[in-house]
Structure 1
Amino acid sequence: MSNSRVEIMVGIFLVLGLMAFGWLAIQLGELPWLTGSTTYVVYADFDNVSGVKPGADVQIAGVTVGTVRELELTDDALARAAMQIDKTIKIPVDSMASVKSQGIIGDKIIQITLGGDEENLKPGEVISDTESSVDLESLISKFAFGQVK
């Protein structure tokens, strides 16, 4: 009788553990059809996103408001960054996205400077005003060889 009771307790513990794991997977996976998404995606097209990686921070005024979800090349040979932004953050359509460095030799981030327009970007829209990454190596070589204009 004692052996049967232990097996039942182990079974209950196993079922509860699997249910907790499933709940955690759904919460972290952010399935919009189950949980109601807390983020939305906007895009920005850059000439150069050198150093930006998926998972990099997206900041407004130094506060992290999202992450870079993916980078891809468009048909126009521009680098398109898909940015996952917190749903509570509204980005005016005239905002500007810039590739910045966090610190002197820190990771690259995307900094959004908010515009003043009353109309906000909708999920899936593209920020048209962008400022690409500064290529320090080419600047130094131009300066060193006297090609700075």
Structure 2
Amino acid sequence: MKRSVLELWVGIFVVLGVAALLFLSFRVASGGSDSNSGDSYTVTASFNDIGGLKVKAPVKSAGVVVGRVTGVVLDPKDYRAKVSMQLQKQYQFSTDTSAQILTSGILGEQYIGLMQGAEEEHLANGSNIDLTSDALVLEQLIGKFMTSFAEKNAGDAEAPAK
């Protein structure tokens, strides 16, 4: 009799543990965003190369998360990536704010970094950020390094010996 009661409690404990893991998994998968759209505004920015930037990536200013990426589409007119960002209303950025795609660490996640400008007029819902810097793609940097290294070695080989 005592054994069946013990097994019942172990079973209940296991079920509660699995339920807690499922809850946390769904919470993490949904981004855990508690902000509603009434407390935010949407802005866009266009980039030539966004690297591995994904929807729900953070938007940071001075290292503080001030919003999230809500959409990434290719503009069929100029073939640039158009990124939509939802920023928290408590953070008001000027119309000359610049946006750049940065990476956390060497191989970390990519995010958008905003740098405040000097204008007094603020971005409004639907505004566009004109000053942008593209992502630095590691493969492209390595390719440029290897090309310049090969050209330098070829130039050294062709130089006459003294």
* TM tier relative to shorter chain: 0.7 to 0.9
Pairwise CA distance, 1:41: 0.3
Q: Write out aligned runs for 1:1-149 (5 A).
A: 30=36, 37-74=38-75, 75-146=77-148
Note the aligned Cα RMSD (angstroms): 1.9
Instruction: Give the C-alpha shift of residue 111 in structure 1.
Output: 0.1
| Equivalent pairs, count | 117
Secondary structure of 2:148's aligned partner = coil
Q: TM-score, normalised by structure 2?
A: 0.68
Find the structure with the greater CA-based Rg. Answer: 2
Question: Which amino acid letter does the alignment assign opposite residue 56 of structure 1?
Answer: A
Structure 1 gap segments, 5+ residues each: 1-27
Distance in 1 of aligned mates of 2:147 and 2:94? 42
Measure, in 1, the Cα distance between the counterparts of 2:141 and 2:106.
Answer: 16
- Give the Å deviation of 1:50: 1.1
Identity %: 34
Instruction: Please give the per-residue CA displacement for 1:9-36, whole angstroms capped at 9, x wherever unaligned.
Output: xxxxxxxxxxxxxxxxxxx683x6xxxx
The TM-score normalised by the length of structure 1 is: 0.73
Provide structure 2 residue ranges, at least 5 long, that are not aligned to the other structure: 1-33, 152-162
**Cα separation, 2, equivalents of 1:123 and 1:69:** 14
